Structure formats: C-alpha cells, structure tokens
A = this chain, B = another copy of it.
Amino acid sequence: MGRVSEARQRILESARGLIYSRSYAGVGVQEICERAGVKKGSFYHFFPSKRDLTLAVLDECRAHSLEIIARAFQPGIPPLARLDRYVEMGYETQVRIKKETGHMPGCPFSNLASELSTQDEVIRKRLDGIFRDLAAPIEQALRDAVEEGALPNIDIRTSAQAVLAYWEGVVLLAKTRNDPRLILKLGKNTVPLLKPAGKAR
C-alpha cells in the first residue's frame, strides 16, 4: 500500500515538473514514467488518461498555492500589505526556479489555461475554478481594507478579479522577458487597479 501510493506520488511529481517546465502537449506519458521510475502499466492504473493526470497535477498545484496564499494573506497583516507580500512571494518562487533551470516558468495555472482552454472543457473549468479560489483571498483583503477605511467604496468582487488578472499578465510579461524583476516593478502597489463601486459587474 505504501509503495503503491509512493508510485502514484512519484508519477505526479514527475508530471508536475515536466509539464511546468514545458507544456501539456510537450510531455509524453513515456517520459513521465521514465522520470518517475514506474512502468507504463502502473501509470494507467493510477491515471486512466493524461487528462486525469493533469487534473491531479492541478489539484497539487492548487493546494501548494493556497498554502503560499495562507502565509501571504494572514489576517494579522494590514490588508493592502498582504497583496504586496503575495507579489513578493511569487517573485521569490520565480527567482528560485530560474536559478535552478535558467528559465522563469510563470504561473502553472496560467500556462495550462493558455494552452488547454480551447481544447479541454474539463481542464478549462477546473482552471476557472482555481482562478476563483485565487481571487477569494484578494477579495477578503480588499473587504478588510474597505472596512478599516484604507480603501474607498469599491466594487470588491470586480476589483479582486482585476488584481488577479493584472498579476497573471505581469507574470506572463516577466516570463517572456525571462526576468522576474518585472514582477516587483509592476506587481506591487496594485491598489490603483481597484474599480469604483456602482459600475456594471
């Protein structure tokens, strides 16, 4: 039993690393198995398809991101400082991976959303749900900021989506420049992005 779940975990980690450093279509089941040190039959025992594997990889990445978010968005930290803290933590992750691999990998969700949203409805919907999960702590921080009087009356929900969209775009431009510093340069001080209340949602 221990060995069985170990094999599943090794496949997951192998796939996560390979897909994150390249793309979904750029990685084959054979290569994932070789890196994980498991047989192909074993792969299909755990994951009937590459889509199932990708959904499991997304669940792992989501859990990992929510852990980072929990550290960045601690309620004890002033609401708007949480946003900058999250940007800094994202920056540090990209710097670390760039040091290891030579390349800034970007956001794993954005990468797969870009590649697969036109091709796989199940994966697209999972990613859409993950983006909503990522917007939730931003929304909470904005709500707290409004309550504390640190922000004027804004459309909190739309503003949270706007901040998330902005960060995803900033990370994409930084990836294209292979320069994580752009994340700090553009990503901090996102407050001006917030949308006034009373606008159409």
Known: A113-B172, A158-B186, A176-B113. A119 touches B22 (CB 8 A): yes
Cβ contacts under 8 Å, A21 to chain B? 118
A81 at the interface (CB under 8 A from B): no
Q: How far is the CA of A23 from the CA of B128 in the complex (A)?
A: 19
What is the 8 Å Cβ interface bit string for chain A, positions 109-123, against chain B (1 contact, 0 not)?
011011111110000
Q: How far is the CA of A169 from the CA of B131 in the complex (A)?
A: 12
Q: Choose from B118, B127, B166, B200 the contact partner of A185 (Cβ within 8 Å).
A: B200
What is the 8 Å Cβ interface bit string for chain A, positions 153-194, against chain B (1 contact, 0 not)?
000001001101111111011011110001001100100111
Contact B111 A176 (CB under 8 A): no
A101 at the interface (CB under 8 A from B): yes
A48 at the interface (CB under 8 A from B): no
Shortest A93–chain B CB gap in Å is 14
**Chain A interface residue count: which class?**
35 or more
Known: A169-B168, A176-B124, A185-B158. A103 touches B118 (CB 8 A): yes
Contact A173 B193 (CB under 8 A): no
What is the 8 Å Cβ interface bit string for chain A, positions 78-95, against chain B (1 contact, 0 not)?
000000000000000000
Contact B161 A186 (CB under 8 A): yes
Residues of A within 8 A of B (CB): 21-26, 101, 103-106, 110-111, 113-119, 124, 127-128, 131, 158, 161-162, 164-170, 172-173, 175-178, 182, 185-186, 189, 192-195, 199-201
